[in-house]
Amino acid sequence: MENDGLLRELMAQDDPIEWFEQLAAENDPALHEALREALLHPDREVRIYAAVMLAQEFHDVSALPGLVDALLDWNRQVRSAAAEAVWEIGDMDPAGLIRALHFERGAVRDAIVEALAIVGWFPDDIEAEVTYYIAIRGWHQLVVVGSPAVPGLISALSDPDGNVRRGAAWALGEIGDPGAVPYLIDLLADTSGDMFGIGGRVCDVVAEALLQIGTAEALEAVRSAFPER
């Protein structure tokens, strides 16, 4: 069934939850995509049911933002099912979970992190650990990780969120890996910053990071961008 037709059928259901159960009982291959479509359903109860079922039946990481809503539900059974579903996703598809953290941005990424924090999930390898710390803005933890965190932090320098770019630049300066210098130089023109001046502009943090790394290339780039330094 094409997605448009599936969406129309979903929205035509008087009881979408009963429809999902029917699809599941019939082992209908349309169930997976129907649950994905239902994550944006206007009815909160339908969204929560779809997220929990999507995680339980398919271990699909796209359910994670919806599971946050379920984890905050008044019904203890719903909360318990959602927590178990988040745990199962992390257990069955850790790589998918980390991809979700790496590629999602803004509110969706924050929702995934919140869901993982509620159930106490924690990564069990260094790549996952770095991605997780970047997602939770754990810059000090990344400094402790050291050189293995550098590739992930370099990737974070292109994040749409200026706070993430600033935090990543600071951490790279603290780690002091010269390999980060060309990527930091590219951000010397990034004048975005907090509207209240908290934390400073991205370019100022980048300049400090380059000065801290201290290679000839880094120092020259800072002198060219900020002659007053």
Tell me whether residue 204 is in a domain. Answer: yes
The verdict on residue 27 lying in a domain is no
Domains identified in the chain, total number = 1
Residue 209 covered by a domain? yes
pLDDT (tens, 9 = 90+) of the chain, 229 residues, equals 556 677 788 888 889 999 999 999 999 999 999 999 999 899 999 999 999 999 989 988 888 888 888 887 888 888 888 888 888 887 787 777 777 777 777 777 777 777 777 777 778 788 888 988 998 899 999 999 999 999 999 999 999 888 899 999 999 999 999 999 999 999 999 988 754 445 679 999 999 999 999 999 999 999 999 887 6
In a domain, 151, yes or no: yes
CB atoms within 10 A of CB 45: 13
Classified as helix, coil or strand, 216 is helix
Whether residue 118 lies inside any domain: the answer is no
Half-sphere exposure of 58 (CA within 13 A, CB side): 20
Structure tokens that stand for 129 in this block: 């650990």
- For residue 185, is it within any domain? yes
